[in-house]
């Protein structure tokens, strides 16, 4: 017998659960794409996206996923042979480095394993760069595979007076954890619609500062990816924002989702909710791990863990993922980038998710460990409940 009928629980780190309101907002035929209604709504969504990122700078939207955002940023920042220093804390940093290397960028990797980037190592490297050959420093705020969370202000501080641009991938963190692009001195920020933004996959965003606009080199820029055309578009040229037909239903979806995040719940409350849900997951895993040393969080230091996704080593993880899917209607993330992917999994707590959903996901996992005979410490759900009772 399966108990999986009912509302499915998606706990994968993107696409994240879609609010019914967002789906309903998108469920509408396109109006005239040359009319005032859509032009005004698009401008409003652009302004909301800048609020979300904490910037009064520029914004270039793209039809595409996060990988498109990576390529868009690189196409406006580098010429062939320009040097990018990529700080790597897991699978996504590695993929990003490979993608822009294939575009012709001279990539230098600084790999921290599954730990967050160490600002001191970055400072030492840049201090030795007398000729200022490093054109940009690239970092994922959250690496979605390891669940490591970078301290972006500390990274910026470590760059000191070095002229390199700071480029941050916030695809798995924007709308989940604080991002104050202007206050923190981030030059380029990249994100996409389907994680913290609670929208369907299909749009990517690149925010950039005046400094990035001036210092980006143009050797890889092609007309479609040129951020100036998009960021400089106005109300009378909607097509320029998007390089052609606008993704009309995505704009409707973004408008609704951003209203929920910015105007209703409020960003501070959104960040606090993610932090509390994350801590409830860590508490459960720690309790399970107390009875089985094989069960542990990938990131040992709580201050270096992401608010949006938690990576876990768990013997029998593949069987557990299959069991909770079949028996409970819960989908967990695969052990992407883990040393032994079959013995690892990820629990997403990003976007439109609440305490009941997290308790459901954790309860399904605990039931699965009992059913499959996976040793685990007692009290995982109690530990999670205690965190949620006092979410401070
Ligand atoms: C999901 C993700 C990506 C890739 O985004 P896609 O939409 O799958 O192309 C890149 N970086 C990070 C940190 C991510 O979480």
Tens digits of residue pLDDT in 206-217: 999 999 999 999
Q: 79: domain CATH number?
A: 3.40.640.10
Q: Is the pLDDT of residue 129 over 90?
A: yes
Query: Ligand 1 in contact with 333 (CB < 6 A)?
Result: no
Find where tokens 């997403």 sit: 348
Tell me if 4 is assigned to some domain: no
Q: Is the pLDDT of residue 392 over 80?
A: no
Q: Give the per-residue pLDDT at 250.
A: 98
pLDDT digits (tens, 9 = 90+) for 13-57: 999 999 999 999 999 999 999 999 999 999 999 999 999 999 999
User: Do both 346 and 230 map to the same domain?
Assistant: no
pLDDT digits (tens, 9 = 90+) for 47-89: 999 999 999 999 999 999 999 999 999 999 999 999 999 999 9
Q: Which of 63, 142, 172 to mutate to test the pocket of ligand 1 (most atoms within 8 A of CB)?
A: 172
Instruction: Choose one of 216, 237, 264: the last residue of a domain.
Output: 264
348: helix, strand or coil:
strand
Tell me if 23 is assigned to some domain: no
User: Do both 270 and 356 map to the same domain?
Assistant: yes
Mean of pLDDT over the chain? 97
Average pLDDT over residues 106-117: 97
Q: Which of 100, 192, 309 to mutate to test the pocket of ligand 1 (most atoms within 8 A of CB)?
A: 192
pLDDT digits (tens, 9 = 90+) for 306-330: 999 999 999 999 999 999 999 999 9
Nearest atom in ligand 1 to the alpha carbon of residue 194 is 7
Q: How far is the CA of 145 from the centre of ligand 1 (A)?
A: 10
User: Do both 342 and 259 map to the same domain?
Assistant: no
Q: 305: domain CATH number?
A: 3.90.1150.10
User: Do both 320 and 240 map to the same domain?
Assistant: no
Q: Which of 92, 98, 176 to mutate to test the pocket of ligand 1 (most atoms within 8 A of CB)?
A: 92
**Number of CB atoms found within 10 A of residue 130's CB:** 6
User: Do both 111 and 213 map to the same domain?
Assistant: yes
- Evaluate whether 141 touches 152 at the Cβ level (below 8 Å): yes
Using pLDDT thresholds of 50, 70 and 90, give the confidence band for residue 391.
confident
Q: How far is the CA of 258 from the centre of ligand 1 (A)?
A: 20
Tell me if 201 is assigned to some domain: yes
Query: Ligand 1 in contact with 138 (CB < 6 A)?
Result: no
Q: Is the pLDDT of residue 237 over 80?
A: yes
What percent of the chain lies above the pLDDT cut of 70? 100
Average pLDDT over residues 159-188: 98
Residue 266: DSSP 8-state: -
Q: Is the pLDDT of residue 344 over 80?
A: yes
| Diameter over CA atoms, the chain | 67
Query: What DSSP line would sit under 128-191, residue for residue?
Result: T-TT--EEEEEEESEETTTTEE--HHHHHHHHTT--PEEEEE-TTTBTTB---HHHHT-SEEEE
Average pLDDT over residues 239-246: 97
* Spatial CB neighbours of 32, under 8 Å, sequence gap ≥ 6: 38
Please count the structural domains in the chain: 2
Q: How far is the CA of 71 from the centre of ligand 1 (A)?
A: 12
Between CA 258 and CA 266 the distance in angstroms is 10
- Evaluate whether 123 touches 162 at the Cβ level (below 8 Å): no
Q: Which domain holds residue 358?
A: 9-16+266-389
């Amino acid at each position: 017998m399966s108990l999986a009928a009912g509302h499915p629980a998606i706990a994968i780190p993107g696409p994240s659960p879609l609010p019914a309101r967002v789906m309903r907002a998108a469920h509408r035929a396109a109006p005239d794409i040359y009319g005032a209604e859509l032009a005004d709504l698009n401008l409003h969504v652009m302004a909301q996206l800048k609020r979300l990122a904490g910037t009064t700078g520029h914004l270039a939207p793209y039809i595409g996923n996060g990988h498109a955002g990576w390529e868009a940023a690189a196409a406006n920042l580098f010429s062939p042979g320009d040097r990018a220093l990529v700080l790597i804390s897991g699978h996504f940093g590695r993929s990003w480095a490979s993608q822009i290397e294939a575009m012709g960028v001279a990539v230098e990797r600084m790999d921290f394993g599954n730990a967050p980037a160490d600002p001191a190592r970055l400072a030492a490297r840049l201090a030795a760069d007398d000729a200022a050959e490093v054109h940009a420093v690239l970092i994922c705020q959250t690496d979605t595979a390891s669940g490591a969370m970078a301290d972006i202000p500390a990274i910026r501080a470590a760059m000191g007076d070095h002229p390199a641009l700071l480029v941050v991938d916030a695809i798995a963190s924007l709308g989940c954890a604080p991002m104050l692009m202007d206050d923190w001195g981030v030059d380029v920020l990249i994100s996409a619609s389907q994680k913290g933004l609670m929208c369907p996959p299909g749009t990517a965003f690149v925010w950039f500062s005046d400094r990035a606009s001036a210092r980006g080199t143009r050797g890889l820029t092609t007309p479609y990816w040129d951020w100036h055309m998009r960021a400089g578009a106005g109300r009378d040229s909607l097509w320029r924002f998007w390089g052609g037909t606008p993704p009309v239903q995505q704009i409707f979806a973004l408008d609704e989702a951003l209203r929920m995040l910015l105007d209703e719940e409020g960003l501070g409350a959104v960040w606090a909710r993610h932090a509390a849900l994350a801590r409830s997951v860590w508490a459960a895993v720690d309790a399970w791990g107390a009875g089985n040393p094989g069960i542990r969080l990938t990131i040992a230091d709580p201050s270096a863990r992401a608010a949006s996704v938690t990576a876990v080593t768990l013997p029998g993880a593949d069987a557990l993922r299959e069991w909770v899917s079949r028996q409970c209607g819960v989908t967990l993330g695969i052990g992407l980038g883990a040393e032994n992917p079959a013995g690892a999994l990820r629990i997403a707590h990003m976007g439109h998710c609440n305490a009941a959903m997290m308790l459901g996901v954790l309860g399904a996992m605990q039931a699965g460990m009992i059913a499959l005979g996976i040793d685990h410490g007692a009290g995982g759900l109690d530990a999670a409940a205690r965190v949620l009772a006092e979410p401070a």
